[in-house]
Chain A
Amino acid sequence: MSDILELLVSAASSGCIYGLVALSYLVMIRPTGIINFAVGEWAAVGLFAAFFLLTNRWLPLPYALALIAAVAFTGLIGWGTQRIAVRPLVEKGAPILGPILALLGMLAIFRESISLIFGPDPHNLPAPFGLRQVSLGPFAGTPRDFFIIGCTAAVFVGVWLFFERTVWGKAFEAVALNRKAAALMGINLRRVTVAAFVGGAAIAGFAGVLYSLTAPRDFLMGLPLAVQGFSALVVGGVGRVEGAILGGMILALAEQLTARYADQIGIPSGMSLGVPFLLMIVFLLARPTGLLRPKEAAA
């Protein structure tokens, strides 16, 4: 029993990271329709920036400050990314595939830049509260797991409040529903796009920071994480913020259950690597809206 509970905690913490990556996609897809595979690279940017800020010889920052600065830096990178690879194409009236492909080019640029600067070795951040086992009620896990879960919950509550309670959030939704009508209503599409990319990048950067707490990561970490995050998004549905975290949790749980129990029914445990793809295929074909439909479609 405690075995299962432990698995739940560890699945929840990796589910949080997938959920954050899915959320990063979501805040960009909703208003712009652009699927940005460079989110994984942004996560890597966040992680390596945090690593640099913590460990550089000249001005090592305190832990919390370094994380915040790294996330802010990734947001800035997000702004630059959309300025270079998205805005010119959107304003030229190119089909939506244009920016998606240009962002694949950006993906290569980010990855190789990181590998140029930091080399091919894996890096990780020191865990914030050590590695001893702690218990919270019946749940046992490392402080790291609880830290990840707590931070993710905070981010999701913040983004949910943004969408539900602020004028900006309403503007995002209006653009998601109808770009032309939103523009006529005086919503500045350019600003919404900028906000989506800066916010998406900051969330991805934060996901990258948390991701590196669980294991050392190298410059190749981006694409697999981007694929897992997208898979979580497809499972949960692109329509709603809650979908991202739900999808992330389901994905992580399915992965960890396969990894632990597949052997017992004769499937190599490595097949758990295939779980995100299998889930993605099944959901794309059987339920392309994901588990949670957008509200306006449900109404």
Chain B
Amino acid sequence: MTRAAPWLAAAAAMIAVAFLLKDFGYYSDQYRKLMLWVALALGFNFLFGIAGQVAFSHFAFYGIGAYAVVILTFKAGLPLGVAVVLGLALCAVLAIAVGIAATRLEGFYLALATMAFAQLFLVVLTEGGAVTGGAGGIANYRLPALELGGRRFTLTGPYYTSLIALVLLATFFVFWRLDRSYFGRACRAIRDNPEAAAAMGVDVARTKIVVFTVTSVLAGAAGMAYAFVDNIVNPPVFGLENVFLLLFMVIIGGSGRHAGAVVGAILLYMLPYVLTPLIGHHQALVFGIVMVAAMLFRPDGLVGVYDRLRARYGRGAA
């Protein structure tokens, strides 16, 4: 199967990095978080860049996934597998409910409704008492041991990092395949012209709900992986700030393109390393400037810049 080769190579490379970093705790931790950001950016790109929905609830679903798996496993005492399935089902049900409600809203009002939903989720987390752990969140839990063929083992260190790599690759694979199918074309058609899309037989409302649900559930899955990175879940991580950052990543990288989401996420995640020595913790200032510049001069983002350069200087004659 030559079709599978690039995917296997990518998995091998990403797992190799996980093992290379295994003795460097800080970098290993950053690597895990970077991969989760990339997974989130890919989903947000599908929702915003490909399907044209401006929704600010992406991090809320990341949080719902994370909290659900922790609460169901450690407060309700369910087996991890059951907790994962139930958590994803919860994400799906909530996403369908929000999605159905949101299809009644046009344009930016969808963004506002999803933002209100996301903020409401934060309030519920903060005021959830013993169930959600309030403002401090829930901490001091560990990934339970898995049983496979009678042997018990725990995914730790590079093995858990590898699991995150697989979550990322699976996310990428799903969106990549969907994008190249009639479903992806229907999404782009709705983004470009919903009236014409409907005239071509695309069920606009249903497609929007499906996109919202798929991207939200995969954000939830990434959130579940995140829950065992720091072994703590608390409200601030899932707030509006991070959704803005996600939006900046996708637009700066090049919205509507998977490569754009990956490049944007990596760039904005790594940029603080370069910026902190220069301007302290005000990297958001640079993000804002780059975001405005991108909107003004290069709405197709860095990937668009690359395409242009290649067309001009590369062997682009082909």
Point out residues on A near B: beta carbons under 8 Å.
Answer: 35, 84-85, 88-89, 94, 96-98, 100-102, 104-109, 111-113, 115-116, 223, 227, 230-231, 234, 268, 270-271, 273-274, 276-278, 280-281, 284-285, 288
Kindly state the interface size class of chain B when it binds its partner: 35 or more
Residues B127 and A270 in contact, CB atoms below 8 Å apart: yes
**Residues on the B chain within 8 Å of A96, using CB:** 107-108
Residues B285 and A89 in contact, CB atoms below 8 Å apart: no
| Cα–Cα distance between A270 and B128 once the two chains are bound (Å) | 10
Residues B285 and A270 in contact, CB atoms below 8 Å apart: no
Tell me, yes or no, whether B113 is within 8 Å of chain A by CB.
yes
Tell me, yes or no, whether B40 is within 8 Å of chain A by CB.
no
Within 8 A of A (CB), among B201-255: 240-241, 244, 247-248, 251
Residues B289 and A35 in contact, CB atoms below 8 Å apart: no
| Cα–Cα distance between A231 and B104 once the two chains are bound (Å) | 18
**Known A105-B287, A108-B288, A277-B120; 18 more pairs at CB < 8 Å:** A89-B295, A101-B247, A101-B291, A101-B295, A102-B296, A104-B247, A106-B292, A108-B248, A108-B287, A109-B292, A112-B284, A227-B119, A234-B112, A274-B127, A277-B123, A280-B116, A281-B117, A281-B120
Tell me, yes or no, whether B12 is within 8 Å of chain A by CB.
no
**Residues on the A chain within 8 Å of B284, using CB:** 108, 111-112
Question: What are 9 A-B contacts with C-beta separation under 8 Å?
Answer: A35-B112, A84-B296, A104-B247, A108-B287, A112-B284, A268-B127, A276-B116, A284-B109, A284-B113
Tell me, yes or no, whether B92 is within 8 Å of chain A by CB.
no
- B26 to A: closest C-beta gap in Å: 25
| Cα–Cα distance between A105 and B245 once the two chains are bound (Å) | 10
Report if A105-B291 is in contact (Cβ < 8 Å); known contacts: A115-B282, A284-B116. yes
Tell me, yes or no, whether B14 is within 8 Å of chain A by CB.
no
| Cα–Cα distance between A104 and B284 once the two chains are bound (Å) | 11
Residues A104 and B116 in contact, CB atoms below 8 Å apart: no
Tell me, yes or no, whether B157 is within 8 Å of chain A by CB.
no
- B240 to A: closest C-beta gap in Å: 6
Residues B291 and A273 in contact, CB atoms below 8 Å apart: no
**Residues on the A chain within 8 Å of B127, using CB:** 268, 270-271, 273-274
Tell me, yes or no, whether B105 is within 8 Å of chain A by CB.
yes
| Cα–Cα distance between A69 and B164 once the two chains are bound (Å) | 54
Report if A227-B108 is in contact (Cβ < 8 Å); known contacts: A107-B288, A271-B123, A274-B124. no
Residue of A108, A234, A273, A276 with highest tally of chain B CB at under 10 A: A108
Tell me, yes or no, whether B81 is within 8 Å of chain A by CB.
no
- B151 to A: closest C-beta gap in Å: 45
- B205 to A: closest C-beta gap in Å: 15
Report if A112-B116 is in contact (Cβ < 8 Å); known contacts: A104-B291, A223-B240. no
Within 8 A of A (CB), among B96-118: 101, 104-105, 107-109, 112-113, 115-117
Find the B residue at minimum CB distance from A109: B288
**Residues on the B chain within 8 Å of A100, using CB:** 108
**Residues on the A chain within 8 Å of B288, using CB:** 105-109, 112
| Cα–Cα distance between A111 and B240 once the two chains are bound (Å) | 14
- B124 to A: closest C-beta gap in Å: 7
Within 8 A of A (CB), among B281-310: 282, 284-285, 287-292, 295-296, 299
Residues A285 and B295 in contact, CB atoms below 8 Å apart: no
Within 8 A of A (CB), among B253-297: 279, 282, 284-285, 287-292, 295-296
- B244 to A: closest C-beta gap in Å: 6
Point out residues on B near A: beta carbons under 8 Å.
Answer: 54, 101, 104-105, 107-109, 112-113, 115-117, 119-120, 123-124, 126-127, 129, 240-241, 244, 247-248, 251, 279, 282, 284-285, 287-292, 295-296, 299
Residues A288 and B292 in contact, CB atoms below 8 Å apart: no
**Residues on the A chain within 8 Å of B292, using CB:** 84-85, 102, 105-106, 109
**Residues on the A chain within 8 Å of B107, using CB:** 96-97
| Cα–Cα distance between A284 and B111 once the two chains are bound (Å) | 11
Interface residue from A85, A270, A277 paired with B119 (Cβ < 8 Å): A277
Find the A residue at minimum CB distance from B104: A285
Residues B126 and A273 in contact, CB atoms below 8 Å apart: yes
Residues B282 and A285 in contact, CB atoms below 8 Å apart: no
Residues B116 and A281 in contact, CB atoms below 8 Å apart: yes
**Residues on the B chain within 8 Å of A277, using CB:** 116-117, 119-120, 123
Residues B105 and A288 in contact, CB atoms below 8 Å apart: yes
**Residues on the B chain within 8 Å of A284, using CB:** 105, 109, 112-113, 116
| Cα–Cα distance between A22 and B285 once the two chains are bound (Å) | 26
| Cα–Cα distance between A97 and B295 once the two chains are bound (Å) | 10
**Residues on the A chain within 8 Å of B109, using CB:** 284, 288
Interface residue from A97, A108, A273 paired with B123 (Cβ < 8 Å): A273
- B260 to A: closest C-beta gap in Å: 15
- B94 to A: closest C-beta gap in Å: 13
**Residues on the A chain within 8 Å of B295, using CB:** 85, 89, 98, 101-102, 105
- B185 to A: closest C-beta gap in Å: 20
